[in-house]
Amino acid sequence: MVSGKYETIDRKFLDTFYRECGREVTLAYTVLNQTNTWAITFFAAVIGSSLVGLVKKVSPRDYSFDYPNPFHWLYLILAWGLLLRFIQRSALALSNMYRWNKLATSVWEVAALPACHPLQAELNDALVLLVDELMIRWREPRSRLFVLWGTLKLMYIGPLIVLLVLIGWGIIALPHDALYWWGIHVFVAWTAMEALFFANWNRNSRQALQGPDASKFLPRFLRSSTSCELGTAGTVQQPGGTAG
């Protein structure tokens, strides 16, 4: 059997790691659902209670809608910033779901085949590389735009459109006084800050689980001349001739 580039991962360890990946997927799914639930509650409170309060009865048959006014416009800008924060948290949870599902799938491919299968070395090396990328260096399992679109489709497109329409209405209709420009600055700065945070996910090596030492992981797993070799019966020979 052809040896791979990296050390063969122990079968018992694969079993434990597979279960841990499942636990992490469940945790990420729970966080995603909880974050989305709180975001829905938050948006319902902002839009439902606040906008209904702006409806005023002027006659038995006529009503007025007291918007835009500068103070409620500023309130909606703050709500916009907080909703962006909810999106960021949901996107992180969704990204982690992709991360641990991808790792679990790779582990399943290795563990599901017999130890003597001709593809074992290739699949083992692929798993080591995937662990290095997604776990040790904590890179993204899917592109940021893919994760963002997946997050928006879950529940955020409608609330974002409603808030943007109301904020845009205020930008067009309100007088350009000092309070107006203060609100514009807050809106632009908060949006830019959240976009910057999102664009810089895991770009710095210090964000890796092992920090700058993450680069040492792959060299440690390189196969050496005394590495474990698979026997004909599927057992693993440890260095020194001890059967594993």
Degrees, nearest 5: CA angle 79-84-89: 125
Give a yes or no: residue 207 inside a domain.
Answer: yes
> Mean pLDDT over residues 82-105, rounded?
95
Give a yes or no: residue 2 inside a domain.
Answer: no
Give a yes or no: residue 55 inside a domain.
Answer: yes
Range of the domain at 186: 11-225
Among 16-25, 38-47, 210-219, the least confident range: 210-219
CB 239, CB 228: distance < 8 Å:
yes
**What is the rounded CA–CA span in Å between residue 163 and residue 195?**
17
Give a yes or no: residue 130 inside a domain.
Answer: yes
**Per-residue pLDDT at 237:** 40
**What is the rounded CA–CA span in Å between residue 198 and residue 207?**
14
Give a yes or no: residue 235 inside a domain.
Answer: no
Look up residue 207 and give its DSSP letter: G
Give a yes or no: residue 62 inside a domain.
Answer: yes
Share of the chain above pLDDT 90, in %: 55
CB 39, CB 86: distance < 8 Å:
yes
Number of domains observed in the structure of the chain: 1
Q: Which residue has the higher pLDDT, 146 or 216?
A: 146
pLDDT tens-digit map of 2-14: 567 888 889 999 9
> Mean pLDDT over residues 26-40, rounded?
95
Among 63-67, 131-135, 219-223, 240-244, the least confident range: 240-244
Give a yes or no: residue 37 inside a domain.
Answer: yes
* pLDDT for residue 162 is more than 70: yes
pTM of the model: 0.82
Give a yes or no: residue 152 inside a domain.
Answer: yes
Q: How confident is the model at residue 137 (pLDDT cuts 50, 70, 90)?
A: confident
CB 167, CB 73: distance < 8 Å:
yes
Share of the chain above pLDDT 70, in %: 88
